[in-house]
């Protein structure tokens, strides 16, 4: 990889290279002593100077390494958010190169294997960033609008949002609306976008307090009763290219109430039911009580609802947390639909796990028919 990260990694190698140089100087000093030419003192001074330089560079390398790992020391004068903006500038160029390569393949119909094979992570929790970029490279975009319901920075020490919309907003110029019920998380997300180079120009401040042009960050608790009002606030009359729903309880009821028809709809599901149970957990208070859930709706239950609403299942992320549904008219002739059974049976890990991993629903779950 070229660019900033390559430069930083070269800097990290400087202390090791200096150690080798010191060793070479020791060898030269020994040879000079044996030959009778008295340069030992001069070389000794040079070696001492190099030791001092090595100590200074080691300190710098420690700071840079902490920066690369997303933790530890930061360079003086460099804020947390600037460091996050500074490091991944190569991502945008690499992703655009990938898009060109995908276009050259010119596949008329893309299947779930092709989508999963394209997965990678930048801001997403798993490999959804790559899956979505591949998908939209294939089906195209209309308005490049994304609405993500449920997002936070809790997985980042530097206040970086972990979601499915950031990569499209930061690296591909999409307009986004992020809806989150936690006021503190909303503040952290706004703080990030106000400082990222790709979006800071869409933030303004004046004597009236300023605001955001894009992305919109809405502090709202989403319910079936207010979802359409929130979507109108987020994207007006437009039907977004992408809608992402992840609210850890109540997702099924909210999705059932959505009146707009995004071209792509991503939902979170409970993987431990595999393809065996079409069930939904109605009460949000039950979420995560019995085990660390990945969703409040099984994938077969999502298949039933989405089929009724005119969508087909096209893939799931390799972690089996998120499923990608595409509107029938968008998928026609471009995407090969799949099923939860096919995805789980072909999965390299979940097709081989012990039977004890899979569970049956308890009384907190209701069947979907």
Domain ranges of the chain: 4-72, 84-367
Q: In angstroms, rounded to a whole number, what is the distance separating the alpha carbons of residues 63 and 67? A: 6
288: its two tokens? 């995560």
Q: In angstroms, rounded to a whole number, what is the distance separating the alpha carbons of residues 7 and 163? A: 28
CATH entry 3.50.50.60 includes domain 84-367: no
pLDDT at 73: 39
pLDDT at 103: 86
pLDDT range class, residue 13, cuts 50, 70, 90: low
Name the percent of the chain lying above pLDDT 90. 54
Name the percent of the chain lying above pLDDT 70. 73
> Please, what is the end-to-end C-alpha distance for the chain in angstroms?
50
Average pLDDT over residues 350-368: 95
Lowest mean pLDDT among 53-62, 139-148, 230-239, 342-351: 53-62
pLDDT at 165: 96
pLDDT at 42: 58
- Burial call 219-238: b when 16+ CB within 10 Å, e when fewer: bbebeeeebeebbeebbeeb
Average pLDDT over residues 178-201: 90
pLDDT at 285: 87
pLDDT range class, residue 81, cuts 50, 70, 90: very low
pLDDT range class, residue 160, cuts 50, 70, 90: confident
pLDDT at 72: 37
- Supply the angle between the helices 14-35 and 4-12 in degrees, to the nearest 10: 40
Which helix (H) or strand (E) segment holds residue 267: the answer is strand 264-268
Specify which of 11-25, 26-40, 64-78, 265-279 reaches the highest per-range mean pLDDT.
Answer: 265-279
**pTM of the predicted model, to two decimals?**
0.76
């Amino acid at each position: 990889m070229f660019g900033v990260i390559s430069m930083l990694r070269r800097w990290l190698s400087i202390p090791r290279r200096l150690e080798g140089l010191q060793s070479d100087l020791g060898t030269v000093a020994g040879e000079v002593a044996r030959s009778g030419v008295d340069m030992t003192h001069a070389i000794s001074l040079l070696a001492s100077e190099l030791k001092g330089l090595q100590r200074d560079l080691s300190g710098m390398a420690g700071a840079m390494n902490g920066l690369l790992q997303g933790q530890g020391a930061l360079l003086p004068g460099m804020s947390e958010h600037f460091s996050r903006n500074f490091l991944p500038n190569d991502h945008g160029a690499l992703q655009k190169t990938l898009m060109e390569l995908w276009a050259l393949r010119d596949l008329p119909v893309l299947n779930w294997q092709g989508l999963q094979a394209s997965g990678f992570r930048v801001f997403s929790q798993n490999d959804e960033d790559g899956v979505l970029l591949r998908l939209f490279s294939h089906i195209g975009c209309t308005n490049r609008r994304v609405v993500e319901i449920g997002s936070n920075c809790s997985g980042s020490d530097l206040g970086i949002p972990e979601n499915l919309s950031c990569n499209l907003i930061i690296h591909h110029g999409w307009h986004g609306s992020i809806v989150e019920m936690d006021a503190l998380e909303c503040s952290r997300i706004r703080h990030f976008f106000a400082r990222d180079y790709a979006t800071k120009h869409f933030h303004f401040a004046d004597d009236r307090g300023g605001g955001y042009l894009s992305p919109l960050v809405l502090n709202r608790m989403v319910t079936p009763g207010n979802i359409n009002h929130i979507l109108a606030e987020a994207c007006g009359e437009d039907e977004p290219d992408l809608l992402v729903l992840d609210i850890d309880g109540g997702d099924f009821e909210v999705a059932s109430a959505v009146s707009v028809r995004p071209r792509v709809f991503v939902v979170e599901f409970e993987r431990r039911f595999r393809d065996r149970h079409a069930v939904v957990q109605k009460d949000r208070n039950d979420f995560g009580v019995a085990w660390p859930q990945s969703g409040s709706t099984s994938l077969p239950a999502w298949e039933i609802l989405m089929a009724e609403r005119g969508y087909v299942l096209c893939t799931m992320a390799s972690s089996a947390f998120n499923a990608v549904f595409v509107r029938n008219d968008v998928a026609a002739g471009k995407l090969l639909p799949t099923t939860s059974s096919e995805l789980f049976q072909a999965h390299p890990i979940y097709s081989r796990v012990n039977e004890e991993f899979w569970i049956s629903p308890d009384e907190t779950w209701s069947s979907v028919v």
